Amino acid sequence: MEGKDLLARARTGSGKTAAYSIPIIQSLLQSTVSEQAVRVLILIPTKELGHQVQQMVRQLTTYCARDIKIADISGQADISAQRPILMEKPDIVVGTPSRVLIHINQKTLCLRESLQVLVIDEADLIFSFGFEDDLKSLLCFSKLPNIYQSYLMSATFNEDVQALKELVLHNPVTLKLEESQLPDSSQLTQYHIQCEEEDKFLLLYTLLKLSLIRGKTIIFVNNVERSYRLKLFLEQFSIPSCVLNSELPVQSRCHIIAQFNRGFYDYIIASDEQALSEAKAKGKKQAGKKKGGKTDKGQDSEYGVSRGIDFQNVSTVLNFDFPLSVDSYIHRAGRTARANNPGVALTFVAHTELSLLKDIEEALGGASSEECVLRPYRFRMEEVEGFRYRCRDAMRSVTKQAIKEARLKEIKEELLNSEKLKTYFEDNPRDFNLLRHDRPLHPAIVKPHLKNVPDYLIPPSLRSIANPLLKKKKRKRMQPGPTSAPSKKFRKTQNPLRTFKYTRGKKRTGAKKKAES
Ligand SMILES: Nc1ncnc2c1ncn2[C@@H]1O[C@H](COP(=O)(O)OP(=O)(O)OP(=O)(O)O)[C@@H](O)[C@H]1O
């Protein structure tokens, strides 16, 4: 509020969006300038985040005396459709650096005279998402006024944030640079378990099917293909899940997140593609990286669900594929235990990834102390050997062809959905909830008989904590059947030999008379 530049780092899910939005809203409300103009620019690295920031500001300003206008220009693909929105000169504009630059160059957005505050949210990601050049041309070529206030907000503090700090901030106030990067162990419990490829599938099946993991869960994989592989694997056992990846249209992505937050789905399989490109770019410093739209493979480079997205009330983050960098681990684990909620992060580690696990331990401060930050998850794999056959069978059904078909089908369906989401649901908000994203993608391989788990396959040690439904079923089955000894009550009331009554002298029906004669 004093107008100083600010560098703030705070752990994931601690409320950074509100922390910068509230003072901005306050100064806009206090402003005596009556002329409508764009006064605040919020730069974010992904489209999902743009949508989220806009929602948050709208919520915060719901009961304000003055109408604060905000426009998110990151989400919609069509630049011309955004022109009329910008012509209204919203107080706050949210966008990715590339999209903002396009509008400035096309003169549909002018900040030179009016900008008062610049925010760079998720500052640690702006460079790694390939926006370095755009940001530099935005800052350096007289696109902005000489004096404005800047905020850099970040969950991690890395070289990129340091570079941004020098580029953007003047004599800044720095906040909480030493605070831990994730919530402490009383709020976030972190585990790891060493297992190889087939065991990962077996373990996931066991955890979900026996409800050893309960509540909303995000399962992270490293690429799009893996997300479909896992979805097709799970759907054979009638475990519904949504995939979230960069191939889906942005409207669908935001709709999936909104529905997940409202409790429509329990499982999201999210592909953390950025982790892969970050790992590849390490050392190369992102030379020539494409940005600002679709990449050659039809994937959206302004996608990123492990970063900054406020998935609400997530009880477990499961790293099915190991994150490829420390920052990636922090951002993924930070999707649970947000605000003051508790959460669990469980990471599967293959033997080739143990060195990366060590890096994460070191970064999170566990290497020096005796205790691991990512505690070993003790699970006796030998007890679930009985499930291996069915898992192997299900894995075999997920062929490359099946994945290809599922991928195409999903994209086709989501493109149609996306069109509906754009226009139809604005007029019919109730129907917004009817559109689902967790339907089976390959119904031909769904095996109804695998929906249930036979009691004899459940390890005795897990029976007491497995799904209570299973217990109910079990109780039902314990009722006397032809092979078990009947109970006393049953013997008295249900046994036909005891209850059958033969009554003499009753009027015989015509059919009976005929039969007797
Ligand atoms: N003071 C508060 N009290 C309770 N909940 C809060 C408070 N501030 C923020 N929240 C909630 O905490 C959640 C996380 O907020 P937000 O997304 O801003 O976190 P963040 O620090 O930006 O996280 P990340 O680094 O992952 O982007 C949101 O659901 C938000 O509504």
Q: Which two tokens stand for residue 299?
A: 């994937």
The answer on pLDDT for 312 being more than 70 is yes
Report the residue among 9, 17, 54 best suited for mutation to probe ligand 1: largest number of ligand atoms under 8 A from its CB.
17
pLDDT at position 456, please? Answer: 74
| Atom 30, ligand 1: residue with shortest CA distance | 15
> By the 8 A CB rule, do 101 and 134 touch?
yes
List, for residues 65-115, the tens digit of each pLDDT value: 889 999 999 866 678 888 899 999 999 999 999 999 999 999 999 998 899
**Burial letters 186-216, b for 16+ CB under 10 A, else e:** ebbbbbbbebeeebbbbbbbbbbbbeebeeb
Q: Judge if the beta carbon of residue 334 lies within 6 A of ligand 1.
A: yes
Q: Is the pLDDT of residue 300 over 80?
A: no
Of all residues in the chain, what percent carry a pLDDT higher than 90? 42
Structure tokens at 341: 């909620």
The strands making up 70-72's β-sheet, listed across from edge to edge, are 70-72, 92-95, 40-43, 117-120, 149-154, 6-9, 173-175
> How far does the centroid of ligand 1 lie from the alpha carbon of residue 308, in Å?
10
Q: Ligand 1 center to residue 56 CA distance, Å?
A: 10
pLDDT the model gives residue 248: 85
Has residue 135 got a pLDDT over 70? yes
45 in contact with ligand 1, CB cutoff 6 A: no
Residue of minimum CA distance from atom 13 in ligand 1 = 339
Q: What average pLDDT does the segment 224-250 reach?
A: 91
Which of 338, 340, 341 has most ligand 1 atoms within 8 Å of its beta carbon, as the pocket-test mutant? 338
> Cα dihedral sign for 159, 132, 54, 328?
negative
Write out the two tokens for 366. Answer: 């566990």
> Would you state the structure tokens that stand for residue 150, as one six-digit string?
């800047």
- Is the confidence at residue 170, as pLDDT, over 60? yes
57 lines ligand 1 (CB under 6 A): no
Q: Is the CB of 390 under 6 A from ligand 1?
A: no
Confidence at residue 287, expressed as pLDDT on a 0 to 100 scale: 41
Crossing angle (nearest 10°) for helices 326-333 and 354-363? 70
For the chain, percent of residues with pLDDT exceeding 70: 77
Backbone conformation region of residue 7, classed left if phi is above 0, alpha if psi is from -120 to 50, else beta: beta
Q: Is the CB of 336 under 6 A from ligand 1?
A: no
- Supply the pLDDT for residue 220: 96
Higher pLDDT, 145 or 435: 145
* Range with the poorest average pLDDT among 148-162, 176-190, 325-339: 176-190
* Residue 312 near ligand 1, beta carbon < 6 Å: yes
Report CA(15)–ligand 1 centroid distance (Å): 3
321-328: average pLDDT: 91
Distance of alpha carbon 353 from alpha carbon 3, whole angstroms: 46
Q: Could you read off the pLDDT of 426-461 as tens digits, one per residue?
A: 666 666 666 777 777 777 676 777 777 777 778 777
Mutate to test the pocket of ligand 1, among 310, 336, 341 (most ligand atoms within 8 A of CB): 310
Q: Residues 300, 303, 304, CA angle at the centre, nearest 5°?
A: 150
Q: Which two tokens stand for residue 419?
A: 């069109």
Nearest CA to ligand 1 atom 9: 15
pLDDT, tens digit, 9 for 90 and up, residues 175-225: 876 677 888 889 999 999 999 999 999 999 999 998 899 899 999 999 999
Round to whole Å and give the CA distance between 336 and 343: 5
Instruction: Give residue 299's pLDDT.
Output: 60
DSSP-assigned letter for residue 443:
G
Q: Distance between the two ends of the chain, CA-based, in angstroms?
A: 106
What average pLDDT does range 307-333 have in this prediction? Answer: 91
3-state secondary structure of 505: coil
Which pLDDT belongs to residue 352? Answer: 94
Comparing CA positions, the residue from 235, 239, 241 lying closest to residue 260 is 241
Q: Are strands 70-72 and 216-221 parallel, antiparallel or unpaired?
A: unpaired
Average pLDDT over residues 376-394: 90
**Residue identifier of the C-alpha nearest atom 12 of ligand 1:** 339
Q: What is the pLDDT of residue 246?
A: 84
CA distance 302 to 294: 8
* Inter-CA distances, 2 with 27, 172, 174, 373, Å: 10, 12, 14, 39
CA of 434 to the centre of ligand 1 (A): 28
From 9, 11, 16, give the residue whose CB has the most ligand 1 atoms within 8 Å, as the site to mutate. Answer: 16
Strands (E), 336-417: 343-349, 375-376
**Atom 27, ligand 1: residue with shortest CA distance:** 308
What is the pLDDT at residue 482?
A: 44
Q: How far apart are CA 335 and CA 314, in angstroms?
A: 7
Atom from ligand 1 closest to the CA of residue 153: 22
Any ligand 1 atom below 6 A from CB of 310: yes
Does any ligand 1 atom lie closer than 6 A to the CB of residue 304? Answer: no
Mean pLDDT of 407-424: 76
Residue 15 amino acid letter: G
From edge to edge, which strands make up the β-sheet containing 375-376?
A: 242-244, 267-271, 216-221, 314-319, 343-349, 188-194, 375-376
Instruction: Give this complex's ipTM.
Output: 0.96
Residue among 85, 91, 76, 105 nearest 35 (CA) = 91
CB within 8 Å of 398: residues ≥ 6 apart: 229, 232, 233, 445
Nearest protein Cα to ligand 1, atom 1 = 15
Please list, in sequence order, all residues whose beta carbon lies within 8 angstroms of the beta carbon of residue 300, skipping any fewer than 6 positions away.
47, 246, 247, 250, 293, 294
CA angle at 389 for the pair 384 and 393, rounded to the nearest 5°: 135
- The Cα 355–Cα 353 span in angstroms is 5
As a residue count, the chain comes to: 517
Q: How far is the CA of 517 from the centre of ligand 1 (A)?
A: 88
Q: Within 10 Å of residue 516's Cβ, how many Cβ atoms?
A: 7
What pTM was computed for the model? 0.77
Q: Averaged over 353-379, what is the pLDDT?
A: 84
b/e per residue 117-153 (b: at least 16 CB within 10 A): bbbbbbbbbbbbbbbbebbeebbeeebbeeebbbbbb
Which of ligand 1's atoms lies nearest the C-alpha of 17? 18
Average of per-residue pLDDT values in the chain: 82
Ligand 1: does its nearest atom lie under 6 Å from the Cβ of 338?
yes
User: From atom 31 of ligand 1, which residue's Cα is the shortest distance away?
Assistant: 15
252-294 residue pLDDT tens: 888 888 889 888 899 999 998 765 555 555 545 444 444 444 4
Atom of ligand 1 nearest to the CA of 52: 17
366 vs 287, higher pLDDT: 366
pLDDT at 360 over 90: yes
14 pocket-lining for ligand 1 (C-beta < 6 Å): yes
Q: What confidence category does residue 139 fall into, taking pLDDT thresholds of 50, 70 and 90?
A: confident
Cα-to-centroid distance, 314 and ligand 1 (Å): 13
Residue 503's pLDDT is what? Answer: 65
- SS3 state of residue 42: strand
pLDDT number for residue 461: 73
Looking at the chain, the number of H-run helices and the number of E-run strands are: 21, 14
Q: Is 308 in the pocket of ligand 1 (CB under 6 A)?
A: yes
